[in-house]
Amino acid sequence: MNSEQRRKERQAAGALGQPPEIKLNDTFNPFHNDSRFEGGYEILKTVLLLPVMVVRVVVFVTSLLLGYLFTKLALLRAKNVLTSPFPQWRRSLMLPVRLCARVNLFACGFHWIHLKGSPAPRHEAPILVSNHVTFVDPLFLFFKHLPVIVTAYENLNLPVAGAIIKAMQAIAVDRISRESRQSASDAIKRKAMCNDWSHVMIFPEATTTNGKLLISFKAGAFTPGFPVQPILIRYPHVHMDPCWVAEGPVIYWLLFRLMTQFHNFMSVEYLPVIHPTLEETKNPNLFAERVRLTMARAMNTSVTQHTYEDAYMAMEAVRLKIDSASALLEFGEFKKISPFTVKEAKRCLSKFLALDCSNRGAVTYKDYIKAVDLPDCFLLQQVFRYFDRTNSGHINFRQYATGIAFISGHSRFKEVVESAYNFCGGVENLLDETALHRSLRVLMPSVSKQQVHLLFNRIDVNKGGLLRQTDFSSYCDDNPDFLLLFLIGKSSLL
């Protein structure tokens, strides 16, 4: 296909046009743990260390329960635990709990931890930020700093750990709720301003990764405009990667593997305090990005536009038993097209998998026409090429999602739906099968009555025999690519 033909096809998409091209990082999957339990050495080592593991489990559980009891003692008759700072005497009651946390680290094989740099006093850097790799990170930070942490609401209800998190006077947040995120941001600023509180500790990635790169930072830690001290946590390893990610071992298997190693390595580096500029206090995203790049240079790694929404997509991919890398969108970059939500992305993934008849992670043109059950014609070829931006003959999930997000999020989407309904011959807010067949034959002369009948039944969810405009609109909401038949086939629709 020459450039002139390509230009005409892009124009044929009608008033909506083609979605902007975005470059996505195919090199790294930050939510994949690639360590394997295999080989004679690992098996022999595990067998030999089983008695040691039993001792470590006993020590871990005993220390955890002791920490829980000391926490309950520290919280005895405490009021407004999450909103009022503890007096110094009550904070000192948490010292045994912090020591229990260090014992738990020891039981997990972290006998010594390499430290580089030093923590800044609270008045110099009230906020600490760190990369997040596994459940070991907060254990160390709790032992070292007893900070105020930002955590998910559901963590407050965890058995044993929930009480300890409350004793840390955590800031609870629902990451999906905008109101909750705003409330958490206000709480961060309020607690960072007052030296009666401990350091505020935040994992700005808002999820765990494999530590091989830094994903997008949320702005919450940087919105108050206070100096921050970055912390880098690494886990040098040969046989066992302790990262706790979507496509990796469950936490119980990670604990088992940690406790059947001779020793696990961990290094913690404190970087110099970073002060925001005047411009960065007005635009926290600039401050967050400068801190992220500073941390990435110190880690000798790269950055990507993945976000915690991508972690949800990776978990969905694992649930569906597909490669998690194929389901990642890099939401930080993707949202430049449309405010696509995780729910919408999951629904889009389900529809893509329905198109992927061969289960190869890529949809060919033959797969597409088979799935949509419409005739092979020039219009369907154009619809397919709308998604196949590289003219490779197949589309992946990212290409499909890009097109869907652009159409569904377009400001003229509802106008297109109404125009398409009117084109089909909707009279007095009703459309019958004959009118739908007649209008589709204008676009696709080879479409059969049976194909239109099946399409009509998919749209007519109430089985009333007549399509209301609300039925038509609902189907278009769920299947935005359906509108491409009209936008491309009838470019003068708008």
Pair of tokens at residue 291:
């801190």
Query: What letter would DSSP give residue 216?
Result: P
Tell which residue, 294, 252, 247, 238, has the closest CA to residue 269.
Answer: 294
Helices (H), 320-396: 331-334, 342-355, 365-372, 378-387
How far apart are the C-alpha atoms of 471 and 473, rounded to whole Å? Answer: 5
**Residue 258 backbone phi and psi in degrees, to 5:** -60, -40
pLDDT at 17: 66
Tell which residue, 443, 421, 333, 415, has the closest CA to residue 16.
Answer: 415
How far apart are the C-alpha atoms of 378 and 341, rounded to whole Å? Answer: 33
Count of alpha carbons within 13 angstroms of residue 298, beta-carbon side: 20
Pair of tokens at residue 386:
């709308």
- Asked whether the CA dihedral 262, 264, 265, 270 is positive or negative, the reply is negative
How far apart are the C-alpha atoms of 448 and 433, rounded to whole Å? Answer: 12
How far apart are the C-alpha atoms of 431 and 75, rounded to whole Å? Answer: 66
The pTM (predicted TM-score) of the whole model is 0.85
How many Cβ atoms from other residues are within 10 Å of residue 236's Cβ? 9
How far apart are the C-alpha atoms of 117 and 119, rounded to whole Å? Answer: 7
Residues ≥6 apart with Cβ < 8 Å to 14: 416, 486, 487, 488, 490, 491, 493, 494
Tell which residue, 132, 150, 288, has the closest CA to residue 213.
Answer: 132
Q: Map out the domains of the chain with their CATH numbers.
A: 40-304 (no CATH), 309-409 (1.10.238.10), 412-489 (1.10.238.10)
Work out whether strand 302-303 and strand 267-270 pair parallel, antiparallel, or are unpaired. unpaired
Question: In a 3-state reduction of DSSP, which class is residue 259?
Answer: helix
Residues ≥6 apart with Cβ < 8 Å to 322: 353, 361
**Torsion, Cα of 132, 134, 138, 139 (10° steps):** -150
pLDDT at 12: 47
What string of pLDDT tens digits covers the 494 residues of the chain?
Answer: 455 545 544 444 555 666 666 666 666 889 999 888 888 888 999 999 999 999 999 999 999 999 999 998 888 887 887 788 888 888 888 899 999 999 999 999 999 999 999 999 999 999 999 999 999 999 999 999 999 888 877 777 788 778 888 888 888 887 667 787 788 888 888 898 888 888 999 999 989 999 999 999 998 899 999 999 999 999 999 889 999 999 999 999 999 999 999 999 999 999 999 999 999 999 999 999 999 999 999 999 999 999 999 999 999 999 988 888 888 988 988 887 777 888 889 999 999 998 887 777 889 999 888 888 888 888 888 889 888 878 888 888 988 988 888 888 887 888 888 888 888 876 666 788 888 888 888 888 888 889 888 988 888 888 878 888 888 889 988 888 888 888 887 776 66
Between the alpha carbon of residue 62 and those of residues 22, 59, 292, the distances in Å are: 52, 5, 38
Between the alpha carbon of residue 316 and those of residues 14, 194, 304, 363, 371, the distances in Å are: 34, 41, 20, 19, 22
Between the alpha carbon of residue 356 and those of residues 172, 353, 365, 372, 396, the distances in Å are: 40, 5, 10, 11, 9
How far apart are the C-alpha atoms of 73 and 66, rounded to whole Å? Answer: 11
How far apart are the C-alpha atoms of 171 and 156, rounded to whole Å? Answer: 10
Asked if residue 134 lies in contact with residue 244, where contact means CB atoms within 8 angstroms, the answer is: yes
Q: Is 227 exposed, middle or buried (0-12, 13-18, 19+ CB in 10 A)?
A: middle
Amino acid code (one letter) for 330: E
Pair of tokens at residue 173:
């947040």
Amino acid code (one letter) for 179: E
How far apart are the C-alpha atoms of 106 and 64, rounded to whole Å? Answer: 12
How far apart are the C-alpha atoms of 110 and 103, rounded to whole Å? Answer: 9
How far apart are the C-alpha atoms of 231 and 217, rounded to whole Å? Answer: 14
Q: Is 76 exposed, middle or buried (0-12, 13-18, 19+ CB in 10 A)?
A: exposed
pLDDT at 1: 45
Residues ≥6 apart with Cβ < 8 Å to 137: 130, 203, 233
pLDDT at 391: 83
Question: In a 3-state reduction of DSSP, which class is residue 453?
Answer: helix
